[in-house]
Amino acid sequence: MILANSRYANSAVTTVDKNGTDVAVIVPSPAVAYSFSYVSHMVADGERPDTLAYQYYTDPTLWWRIAQANPEIMYWDDVPAGTVIRIPQL
């Protein structure tokens, strides 16, 4: 089951055989160009995507929306303080 607010909400679920066992996997929908409204945020020491999601959305599980809006950041555990990121508006 894929939740409606999940980043995979428009994706399909299928099963594949892994060593004789059927395993459910998500097949992501094709990437499409999009635009979104956002606010800029300068990262402070110790901030993480989940803490920012709580700060901006009151829901830390929406951290992936921040990560998705900043695809140039590959490793969120090492974002230097002073980095300006996009916080998408919901």
Q: What is the pTM of this model?
A: 0.67
pLDDT of residue 69: 94
Instruction: Flag residues of the chain having pLDDT under 70.
Output: 1
Q: Give all domains of the chain, ordered by start, each with its CATH number.
A: 1-33 (no CATH), 34-90 (3.10.350.10)
**Cβ-contact 79, 70 below 8 angstroms:** no
pLDDT of residue 34: 76
**Cβ-contact 85, 73 below 8 angstroms:** yes
Kindly tell me the number of DSSP H helices and DSSP E strands found in the chain: 2, 4
First to last CA, the chain: 23
